[in-house]
Amino acid sequence: MKTLVIGAEGQLGTELRRVFADVDLATADVTGEHIRLDVTDGDALERVIRDEVRPDLVINTSAAHNVPKCEEDPQTAFAVNATAPQRMARICNEIGARFLHISTDYVFGDGGTRPYVESDPVAPLSTYGASKAAGEFLIAAECPNHCIVRAAALYGPASCLAKGGRNFVGLMLHLARTKGEVRVVTDEITTPTYTVALAEQIRVIAEKAEPGIYHASCNGACSWYDFAEAVFALTGVEVKLMKATSADFPSSVKRPNYSVLENRRLKEQGLDVMPEWRDALAAYVKTLDD
């Protein structure tokens, strides 16, 4: 299965390069040692996907996902998160390739009280969420053989380039060691998702899943405070951990207060291989000691 990973230098793309290393793999990114590709350049997408690689499977991890910057520049957010995936899906359909696209829990809104399933209506609160939701609809219209994978709160070994290199775990440890105290919100509930596990799940979806939308987060749920508490417990780092609410950190950007995903379709097809979030965090912490 000839595979093209777009966004190959990102936090998730790096893990996908490892997971798909045993296939005929091509990788593309806007920078680095891969095929140079600006996803907002329609001609470049045509050239790379249709002419240069002509894959059986395209996995798109590229995204404009710095949420505040998306609010400042909605044109770029929609160009990267909606128009570019639409073009990729169209090309994939024309050459007979499967298109797998990474989306987000931020397509959902406020007021959730139970884990969202794939059939729940989207109600994005931000430009980022709206642009990703638009991308989902456009992909579905262009390519019947698509898999849209919604994930949440990613962290892993590779740097998060859009957030200065540190994931949440790294930021908590940095703040603990440099300041000795950390304030974390208790009123935003999600499921932290380990990119190593997600990459493995994506391979299963790519090879075995029916077309459509899938939720693929780690199992379970927690607040960001709960997650930070677990980070410090597993690493043994001493810190003064204080509870806060989102009101303590005023922002012009609205984020869902509850964005837990249930991997219902994966479970129905017997394809859910995602670990519980605490087990995934423990696995990640072990890599920090290596």
Q: What tens digit of pLDDT does each residue of 163-198 get?
A: 566 899 999 999 999 999 999 999 999 999 999 999
Using CA atoms, how far apart are residues 78 and 134, in angstroms rounded to an integer?
8
**H/E run at residue 100:** strand 98-104
The dotted CATH code for 3-156+193-218+262-275 is 3.40.50.720
Beta bridge partners of 150: 103, 215
How distant is the alpha carbon of residue 29 from its chain centre?
A: 16
Respond yes or no: is residue 128 known to be catalytic. yes
Residue 290 above 60 pLDDT?
Answer: no
Q: Say how far apart CA 157 and CA 152 lie, in whole Å.
A: 16
Please count the CA atoms within 13 angstroms of the CA of 172 that sit on its side-chain side: 27
Please pick, among 128, 214, 225, 284, the residue that the annotation labels catalytic: 128
Q: Global pTM?
A: 0.94
Distances (CA, A) of 270 to 167, 264, 266: 31, 10, 6
289: pLDDT strictly greater than 80? no
β-pairing, 189-190 vs 222-223, is antiparallel
What digits encode the pLDDT tens for the residues 81-128?
Answer: 999 999 999 999 999 999 999 999 999 998 888 999 999 999 999 999
Give the chain's mean pLDDT: 94
